[in-house]
Amino acid sequence: MSTRYQNYIAGKWVDSVSGETAENRNPANWDEVVGIFPRSGKEDVNAAVRSAKEAFDEWRLTPAPARGDIIRRAGDIMTARKEEISKNMTREMGKILDETRGDVQEGIDTAYYAGTEGRRLFGHTVPSELANKFNMSLRRPIGVAGIITPWNFPMAIPTWKIFPALVCGNTVVFKPASDTPLTATTFVEILLEAGVPPKAVNLVHGGGDSVGVPLVNHEEVKLISFTGSTAVGKAISRSAGDTLKRVSLELGGKNAQIVMDDADQDLALEGALWGAFGTTGQRCTATSRVILHSKIHDQFVDMLVSRAAKLRLGDGLNPETEVGPMVNQYQVETVQRYVGVGREEGATLALGGNQYKEGDCAKGWFHEPTIFTDVTPEMRIAKEEVFGPMLSVLRVDGFEEAVRVLNNTKYGLSSSIYTADVSRAFQAMRDIDAGITYINGPTIGAEAHMPFGGVKETGNGHREGGWEVYEFYTETKTIFVDYSGHLQRAQIDNY
C-alpha cells in the first residue's frame, strides 16, 4: 500500500481542504507508486499564507546569525540523509543516482554558504555631506515569500530560494512541482528538524492553476521566486504587477556550445555529451545546440553520433545507466513533436528520434538520445526550447558567425566555447549574450556560491545563488542620524 503524505500548514501536517489526492509515480517504471500527495487549492494557500504572516515578526526579530545557524544545521541533516534523499529523488524524477547525489550536494553546499551569510547581511556606512551627521544603510526582510520550484532539481533549486529567504528573515510558503513532491516533503522535514519555527515554513502540494496562481495573486505574499517556463513566468509577472510584488524569474534556455577549429575535440565531445544528455536533457542549462567550425564539423559529428549511440538508457538506480527516463509522458510527447518539426524543416536526423521501450525500459518514459544535423539558424529546433535529449548541430565558418548564431534566440541563460585561443575566449566572454559563459567546459554545472541566471527571456534580471540572491530577499533601508543639535538642511543649495 502506497504511503500517503500531507501538506505542512500552520505547524501541522494536514490533508488538503478538499481531501483530493494525486499519485506520484516512478518515470522509469510507471507501475510503481512512490506516494500519494494532496491536491490542494486556494483555501489551503490562504491558510499557509496566514501561518507565514503570523510567524514573520518572531522570525524577523531572531538575530540573523542565529537564523544562519539553523540553516547550517539543515545542511548537517541533509549530509546525514544524502543517500536516502538521492535514491528517492531518482525514483520520483528519474535522473541517475550520481546526478541526484549531486543535486543533494548542491543543497548541502547552499546550506553552508547561506549559514555564513547570516553574519554577512551587509549594509553600508558612508560620509554625510553635513557636519555631525551619520549615514548608513541596512537590509531588512520583506515578509511572506512564495516559492515555486520545478521538478528537474527538486532539492537544489528549493534550497537556492528557501535558504536565503529564511536567512534574510522572511517566512515561506513553498509550492513544489507536482512531479517531485516527496523530495519537497523531505526538505521541509529537514528544515523543521533543524529548528525553523513551525509556522515560518509552509508546504502546499498541488498544480500551478490551483496552488501557484492563488499564491502569486495573494495580497499578503510580498515576493515570488519562480523557476520554470518563460510563458508561465510572463503570466506571473503580469499578475504580480497588480500588487507590486517583488518577483524573481528563472526561465527557459536554448544554450549552445561553440567548438572552434583549434579546440581539443575530445574534451569538447565530452562536454557536448554531458551537456546535451545529462539529466536526459531536462535542464534549463542543457546544451541544446552545438555550433561547429566547418573545418572540424564532419569529424566532430562522426565522433558525437558514435558516442551518443552507445549511451546506456535505463533506471537511474542502476549504476550502469547513463541516461534515465524523462519525467512524464508529456515530456516524451514534447520531444516527439520537435522530432517531427526537425524533419519537416529539412534537418537531417542523424541519431535517435524515437521513444524507447526496450527491455527494462518498457514501463517507463524513455526517449533515445537524438541528434539533428544540417540545422540552420532560423529553424525552430535551433531557436525553441525542447527540454529533452535532443541536440541540434549547426555549421559556421568562423568565430564571429558562431557568436551571431549562438545569440540568435530569445533566450540567454548559459553558453560555452571550446578554443585554445585566449583572445577568442575573452571576446566570447564579452560578446556572448548570456548570463553564464563557460570556457572549455559544458553549458551545465552551477556552483552554489556564484550567481545563476540569464538575460533576455530567460529571466527578469535577478539571480539565484551567490551573494546577489540576498539582495532579492531584502529591502534596503537608509538611516540618517543627525547629532548636531540644530536643523541642517540637506537637498538645499548649501554651496
Q: Is 361 a catalytic residue?
A: no
CB within 8 Å of 183: residues ≥ 6 apart: 85, 88, 89, 92, 93, 154, 155, 176
Beta bridge mates, 21:
38
CB within 8 Å of 80: residues ≥ 6 apart: none
* Amino acid identity at 486: H
* Residue 413 CA to its chain's centroid (Å): 11
Beta bridge mates, 348:
373
Beta bridge mates, 141:
474
Q: Is 117 a catalytic residue?
A: no
CB within 8 Å of 434: residues ≥ 6 apart: 255, 406, 412, 413, 414, 415, 454, 455
Under a CB-based contact definition with an 8 Å cutoff, are residues 199 and 47 in contact?
no
Pairing of strands 355-356, 366-367: antiparallel
Under a CB-based contact definition with an 8 Å cutoff, are residues 24 and 36 in contact?
yes
In what helix (H) or strand (E) does residue 351 lie, and over which residues does it extend?
Answer: strand 348-351
Under a CB-based contact definition with an 8 Å cutoff, are residues 167 and 110 in contact?
no
Q: With the C-alpha atoms ordered 166, 168, 171, 173, is the resulting torsion angle positive or negative?
A: negative
Q: Kindly name the residue from 92, 99, 106, 250 that is annotated as catalytic.
A: 250
What does the block give as the cell for 367? Answer: 526517449
Catalytic residues: 250, 284
